[in-house]
Amino acid sequence: MKIKTKSKKVNKAWLQDHVNDPYVKRAQKEGYRARAAYKLQEIDEQFGLIRPGQTVVDLGAAPGAWSQYLRRRLCGGAAGKAQDASIIALDILPMEPIEGVTFLQGDFREPEVLQRLEQALGGRRVDVIVSDMAPNLSGIAAADAARVAHLIELALEFASTHLQAEGALVAKVFHGSGYEELVQRFRQTFKIVKPIKPKASRDRSAETFLLGRGVKNA
């Protein structure tokens, strides 16, 4: 019973924080599916990543807040023409449709899913890849670090193959075991690498984002 009570207290505290979170309130007001949209917005505004006419791939897209933000940026607002956007979103979970976004459901770790993503691109080079992918965490540090590293490695391989020469990858990572190795792997792949902790990312969260720009040996 003690464990149950503690769990309820934690859940209640989280819910209270969530309800009072200014980014949650803003997301509800502005029609975003999640507060995560403001993490990508802050990164975009700081580094000028997203511009109309680009081809963008959104990995780990569900529930769709990043794809919503991308569509608004690529189409010039929430009511922009869908055909002006070129966004391909992918997630292992289902996602409600977003006009102007091509959604593929599947596991990015599976070769067949990667093949479907490549077919959707139709030979086009990608300008920006954004990745909010995260594995199911077990609480075992070494195992969780390995799962995170595997997803990042796959995203880096995809970026190396499909990005424009001056394209960019933004990927969520976690501070802790294996973090420095991931930064080093980014530096091996990109000319410019920047770690970013957006204001919209909760202080207590171990998440941060790595931006890689300009593919080496492209």
User: What are the pLDDT digits (tens) for 93-146?
Assistant: 999 999 999 999 999 999 999 999 999 999 999 999 999 998 887 777 777 788
The helix/strand/coil state of 156 is helix
Domain 34-215: give its CATH architecture.
Answer: 3-Layer(aba) Sandwich (3.40)
Angle between helices 141-162 and 111-121 (to 10 degrees): 30
Q: Is residue 66 annotated as involved in ligand binding? A: yes
Per-residue confidence (pLDDT) for residue 178, from 0 to 100: 87
Q: Where are the alpha helices (DSSP H) in the chain?
A: 2-20, 22-30, 37-47, 65-75, 111-121, 141-162, 179-189
Q: Give me 113's structure tokens.
A: 């899913």
Check residue 180 and give its pLDDT: 94
Contact 211, 194 (CB under 8 A): yes
Instruction: State yes or no: 64 annotated in a binding site.
Output: yes
What pLDDT shows up at residue 189? 97
SS3 at position 83: helix
Which residues have CB under 8 Å from 19's CB, separation 6+?
none
Report whether 91 belongs to an annotated binding site. yes
Which DSSP category does 84 fall into?
Answer: G
Query: What residues are annotated to the active site?
Result: 172
Q: Is 14 annotated as a binding residue?
A: no
Tell me which residues of the chain have a pLDDT lower than 50: 1-7, 10, 14, 82-85
